[in-house]
Amino acid sequence: MLALLVVLAAAVTWLATGANRGWTKTSVPVKTLDTVTGIEGITYQNKFLPGVDFLGAALGGAALLAGASFFFRKPKTKQQPTKQPIITI
Amino acid sequence: MKLTHIIPLVALATAVHAAPQAFDFKDPKGVNNAVFKLDAPLESINGSASGISGTVSFDPENPAATTGKIIVASESLTVPNPMQKEHLHSVNWLDVAKYPEITFETKSLAQVKTDGNVTTAEATGTFTLHGVAKEITVPIKLTFLADKLSARVPNLKGDLLVIRANFVINREDFNIQKGQNEDKVSPTIDLSLSIAGASVK
């Protein structure tokens, strides 16, 4: 269940930030035009942009969680066999 | 005044006017940049460098005599992915600690064509990257903006010189991961330079 939540959260984050199909970025270039020279200056703005490696890491993490869940399962309580009424004639 | 006296004066005035000007490319506005691009399977690696300095001697009357040296601080090279940036700066790639500068020093200009304030030419010079110096020829475009410095930097009078250049280098020529990782990163690097220098009067 937790693994599924991790995958869903990662997918929603990835989609909400523009579904970047490249690598994860922590900054994005912003271009500004210098009107006198006509040069486009580039500055970087801090912004987290998850990429396919982010999705891959989330899937890997979810797979680990799912795998680990098999080792930490609660033992099932044994069911008491129902006693059949003894019918005596 | 006799004509014999006027001629030397006119010649002197012309010589003063035609003297080459020194343009400083340390940009106080931080607009100057060098953009680089390497193709890679998932997406191309695009980055830029802002630490640009250097001096160019340019004569508006004789653009063919242009000489100069442009320096890019290796440390200022950046890409949006922090891991890629770390790799780029590391000893395996640019080794910015050991080779702090990338430079291009012009030796000569050929095929110089001037139209108004714009000059295009083929600049031959020494390009130094990763400690390896190699002579290359790159197409350049020079735009001379007379008396435009004050429009960019108030309280300063002077001229501006804009240099633009787009060219391709092979990273193997500069011993950068020679013969390695060609399936991951293209052996060629696209470079684009857009810089403006100022000559204060």
Is the pLDDT assigned to residue B115 strictly greater than 90? yes
CB contact under 8 A, B80 and A28: yes
What is the pTM for the complete model shown?
0.82
- What are the backbone dihedrals phi and psi of residue B62, each rounded to the nearest 5 degrees, phi first? -145, 70
Please report whether residue A77 resides in a domain. Answer: no
Domain ranges in chain B are: 20-200
Query: A57 touching B, CB under 8 A?
Result: no
Q: Does residue A51 have a pLDDT over 60?
A: yes
The answer to whether residue A87 sits within a structural domain is no
How many domains, in total, are found in chain A?
1
If one counts every other C-beta atom within 10 angstroms of the C-beta of residue B51, the result is 20
Contact in structure between B124 and B136 (CB atoms under 8 Å): yes
Domain containing A39 equals 2-71
Query: Complex ipTM, two decimals?
Result: 0.81
**A48 and chain B: CB distance < 8 Å anywhere?**
no
Name the 3-class secondary structure at A75.
coil
In the numeric block, the tokens 């040069």 are attached to A39
CATH of B20-200, one of 3.10.620.30, 1.10.1040.10, 2.40.128.110, 3.40.50.300: 2.40.128.110
Beta carbons of B52 and B34 less than 8 angstroms apart: yes
Is the Cβ of A43 closer than 8 Å to some Cβ of chain B?
Answer: yes
Q: Do B81 and A21 touch (CB under 8 A)?
A: no
The Cα of A72 is separated from the nearest Cα of chain B by a number of Å equal to: 35
Helices A52-71 and A2-16: crossing angle in degrees, nearest 10, is 170
pLDDT digits (tens, 9 = 90+) for B29-40: 889 999 999 999
In a domain, A52, yes or no: yes
A28 contacts on B by Cβ (under 8 Å) = 80
